[in-house]
Amino acid sequence: MRVDVVTIFPAFFDVLEVSLLGKARGAGLLDVRVHDLRDYATDRHRSVDDTPYGGGAGMVMKPEPWGAALDAIIADAATAPTFIFPSPAGELFSQRTARELSDAEHLVFGCGRYEGIDERVFAYAATLGDVRLMSLGDYVLNGGEVASMAMIEAIGRLIPGVVGNPESLVEESHENGLLEYPSYTKPASWRGQDVPDVLLSGHHRRVAEWRREQQMTRTRTRRPDLLPPSS
């Protein structure tokens, strides 16, 4: 998978070199290219923002540097990419979205700052590929960088071969619509707390039943919104 990122803070993405996704990049499974939006500004001060038409607080990202950056990215692209713009006004990003996007050939993340990007940039991007405005949740960040990083990690780890043991992807939270069951390791007793007996019993069926029960109870308590209205 090829991933391009457009940002005025390219250094944010240095951490993609480390850990799991760094390995995926080394193995050639993931090709991440980070672009500084200011390299596509045309004035002496490399401006990327200006005052909003209609008035109001803050600054808006100018369309011209964005147009030039997107053009440069698709110039050597093999297929029409999917553009993802993090936005508090976007659709919710979920494990389903991550799964959907994990078989894409090419994703382009556009990281806004200030009060956001001139709306015409989204319409222009839609002439080059699919466009999705995506929100991580109902809260507001200072810009799209942290949200892009979260989405790149959520999507990237679903690419076959990136996570060493694919079975660990099956049992985690949100893969079956429920929260994951609690996990324990040695020692069996720690500071007065014992590991539940059933997990030491060796009865595989009873362990599976207990875990399913825990998933249901936890989901009902912490995330009832994940369950069908009937239950």
Q: What residues make contact with ligand JB8 under the rule CB under 6 A?
A: 86-88, 112-113, 116, 135-136, 140-144, 147
User: Rounded distance, CA 110 to CA 108, Å?
Assistant: 6
CB of 140 or CB of 170, closer to ligand JB8 = 140
Give the separation between CA 155 and CA 153, rounded to whole angstroms. 5
CB of 119 to ligand JB8, least distance (A): 13
- Known binding-site positions for S-adenosyl-L-methionine: 112, 136-141
What is the chain's alpha carbon radius of gyration, rounded to the nearest angstrom? 22
Please report how close the Cβ of residue 149 comes to ligand JB8 at its closest, in angstroms.
11
Give residues with Cβ within 8 angstroms of 134, minimum separation 6.
84, 85, 86, 87, 90, 91, 92, 93, 97, 147, 151
On whether the CB atoms of residues 109 and 86 are closer than 8 A, the answer is yes
Considering the complex, state which of residue 18 and residue 140 has its C-beta at the smaller distance from ligand JB8. 140
Pick the closer one to ligand JB8 by CB: 142 or 165. 142
State which residue, 22 or 88, has the beta carbon closest to ligand JB8. Answer: 88
CB of 100 to ligand JB8, least distance (A): 19
Smallest distance, Å, CB 142 to ligand JB8?
6
Nearer to ligand JB8, 114 or 124 (CB): 114
What is the SS3 assignment for 85? Answer: strand
Q: Taking a C-beta distance cutoff of 8 angstroms, is the pair 84, 142 a contact?
A: no
Task: State both tokens at 89.
Answer: 């006004």
- Min CB(225)–ligand JB8 separation in Å: 20
Say if CB 45 and CB 37 are below 8 A apart. Answer: no
Give the Cα separation of 226 and 25 in Å (integer). 34
- 207 membership: H or E segment, kind and range: helix 204-222
The nearest distance, CB 85 to ligand JB8, in angstroms, is 7
Q: Whose Cβ is closer to ligand JB8: residue 75's or residue 140's? A: 140
Q: Are 60 and 50 in contact (CB under 8 A)?
A: yes
